[in-house]
Amino acid sequence: MARVLVTGATAGFGEAIARRFALRGDEVWGTGRRQERLDALARDLPRFHPVCFDVRDADATARALDGADPDVLVSNAGLALGTGKAWEADLADWETMIATNVTALARVARLILPGMVARRSGHVVHIGSVSSEVPYVGGNVYGATKAFVAQFSRNLRADLLGTGVRLTNIEPGLAETEFSIVRYKGDTDRAKAVYRGVDPLTADDVADCVLWAVDRPPHVDVSLIQIYPTAQAQGGTLLDRKT
C-alpha cells in the first residue's frame, strides 16, 4: 500500500487519479481549493484524506504539507485561462497560470523531495501537456508554463540520479474535462465546441498512464509519456473532426 499525494484532486485528471489509487487500496491525500468536493470524495472513497488549500499560497502550502512524506507525488494542479493572442490576453490570466503551473509545482516538489531522497525511494509524477512542444494560436503563456514543466522534469531527473527517486512527466493532448470550461471562464458552449466532432481523451485515460508508470519495477523510470487521442496530431493544430 502506497502513500499518494495528488494535487488538484477536485476534478478532471486529479480526481480520476485519486480515485484509481484509493480504490485499489492506497492511502491518498487529495488537495484542492474546493472543500465541498474534497469532502464528497472522502465520503465516496476509502482511504481518501482531504487537504484543502490553494497551491498558489506559499504559506498555506507549507503548512498543509508539513510532515507530508508520500511515496508518490502527483503534481496535477494546473490550468489554462483564455485563448487570446498575446497582445490581447489578460495579464492577470498569465500571472495566474505562471503562479499555478510553474511556481506552485516547483514549490511542492521542493517540499516533498527531501523526504523521498532521504528514504532513497519515491516517485514524482508531473502532469504536463503536449503544448510544451507544439505552439498554437492563443497558447502563448499556457504552453510556456508546460514547457517549464517539461524542462524542470528533465532537470530533476538529472539531480535525482543515484537517489532511487523516479520522475515521470505525462503530457496529454486533447482531453475532455473541466479544463476548457475553466479556460473559457464558464462559457460551456465555447468549451463544448473544442471537442466537437472529436473523440477526445478522458481523465481515466490519463489516470491509466499514471498508474502504469508508477507500477513499473523500481529499476524502470518512465521519464515521459505523451498521449494523444487518435483524432489529433501536432498538439492542438491538427484535428480530424467528424462532420
> Model confidence over 200-238: pLDDT tens digits?
999 999 999 999 999 999 999 999 999 999 999 875 667
Strand partners, 169: 126, 224
Tell me: pLDDT of 185 over 90.
no
Burial degree of 220 (CB within 10 A; 0-12, 13-18, 19+): exposed
Per-residue model confidence (pLDDT) at position 237: 66
CA distance 159 to 152: 10
pLDDT category at 186 given cuts 50, 70, 90 is confident
The strand pair at 238-239 and 232-233 is best described as: antiparallel
- Domain membership of residue 177 (yes or no) is yes
Tell me: pLDDT of 243 over 70.
no
- Domain membership of residue 30 (yes or no) is yes
Cell numbers standing for residue 231: 483524432
Burial degree of 36 (CB within 10 A; 0-12, 13-18, 19+): exposed
Instruction: Give residue-wise pLDDT tens across range 116-170.
Output: 999 999 999 999 999 999 988 999 999 999 999 999 999 999 999 999 999 999 9
- Domain membership of residue 238 (yes or no) is no
The strand pair at 48-52 and 224-227 is best described as: unpaired
Per-residue model confidence (pLDDT) at position 37: 97
- Domain membership of residue 109 (yes or no) is yes
Per-residue model confidence (pLDDT) at position 239: 72
The residues that are catalytic are 142
Tell me: pLDDT of 187 over 90.
no
Instruction: Give residue-wise pLDDT tens across range 65-109.
Output: 999 999 999 999 999 999 999 999 999 999 999 999 999 999 999
CA distance 215 to 82: 36
Tell me: pLDDT of 8 over 70.
yes
- Domain membership of residue 241 (yes or no) is no
Q: What's the whole-number average pLDDT of the chain?
A: 95
CA distance 44 to 47: 10
- Domain membership of residue 42 (yes or no) is yes
Q: Which residue did the predictor score with more confidence, 71 or 178? A: 71
Domain count for the chain: 1
- Check which CATH number belongs to the domain holding 11 and give it: 3.40.50.720
Q: Which of 226, 170, 171, 177 is nearest to 202 (CA)?
A: 177
- Domain membership of residue 240 (yes or no) is no
Residue 214, amino acid: V
Per-residue model confidence (pLDDT) at position 217: 98
Provide the percentage of residues in the chain whose pLDDT is more than 90.
86
Per-residue model confidence (pLDDT) at position 191: 84
pLDDT category at 193 given cuts 50, 70, 90 is confident
- Domain membership of residue 85 (yes or no) is yes
Per-residue model confidence (pLDDT) at position 77: 96
* Residue numbers of the domain that contains 12: 3-233
